[in-house]
Amino acid sequence: MEWYQGDWVTRMARLALPSIPNTSLLDHSLSHNYGDQIEVSHSHQLNQQPGAIRVLYYEQRAFMGRYQDALDQNSSSPDLTTIRKDGTKSWGYGLNIEQAINSDIGVFARWSQNPGKTETQTLDISRSLSGGVSIKGTSWSRPKDIVGVGYAINGISASQINYLKNGGMTAFIGDGSLNYKTEQIFETYYSGQIYKDLSLTLDYQRIANPAYNSARGPIHIFSLRAHIEM
């Protein structure tokens, strides 16, 4: 459901979640494994330049395990899959700010957090801070080109850190040990118009401490994307 009132927009949804975490087996009943979400956004003008602020809150109840419950098993290798319970609750929130500085430069910043006490339905992130800037190529006579730079720092909760240090595994990470450090991601890209409606984007990412382990990485990722409009 969406509600529009002037510069304000409110969106609410109930979403189906997997009956088993991180699988495609969705519970379509929307009454057993589900997530509730609300987002409020406001569009504004700052120095005659457009911007927006968005705040999101969610709760989910599903068949999930809690990291501390797995640790309380006192086994040599804690296992989330053995202590999952129906109706396990999780929640979180996010804040997003976007602002144009002028007709060619825009910036953004994002913050999100959740308690991180339960396994996730998506990615292993309990808190995340990111920001970036994009610049059109007007100043170098390429007005349809865009260059962008972004940076993100991700972290996980103390209970998940202890779970992983004791040999636990999640759907995405876990190798029997953990030298914990925040995951730090730098990304930059250049999108250039090649011919009329054809553009190519070259992207580079550097990920330090991937999966929150200082023993790994850094990882360097290069990608090339083509976009054409017919």
Which pLDDT score is estimated for 190? 97
Tell me, what CATH number does 106's domain have?
A: 2.40.160
φ, ψ of residue 48 in degrees (nearest 5)? 65, 20
Q: Which residues pair with 92 in a beta bridge?
A: 58
Which pLDDT score is estimated for 64? 92
Which pLDDT score is estimated for 174? 81
Residue 182 to residue 131: CA distance in whole angstroms: 16
Which pLDDT score is estimated for 172? 85
Which pLDDT score is estimated for 114? 95
pTM of the predicted protein model? 0.88
Mean pLDDT of each 10-residue bin along the chain, 230 residues long? 97 93 88 94 95 97 92 84 91 97 97 94 91 96 94 96 90 84 97 91 97 93 93
Can you say how many angstroms the Cα of residue 42 is from the centroid of all Cα atoms in its chain?
21
Residue 13, token pair as written in the block: 């949804």
Q: Residue 94 belongs to what domain range? A: 2-228
Which pLDDT score is estimated for 74? 76
Which pLDDT score is estimated for 220? 98
Can you say how many angstroms the Cα of residue 71 is from the centroid of all Cα atoms in its chain?
26
* Closest among 166, 170, 165 to 213, alpha carbons compared: 165
Number of domains in the chain: 1
Helix (H) or strand (E) holding 67: helix 67-71
Which pLDDT score is estimated for 37? 97
**Sign of the C-alpha dihedral computed for residues 166, 78, 24 and 126 taken in this order:** negative
Q: Reduce the DSSP state of residue 74 to 3 states and report it.
A: coil
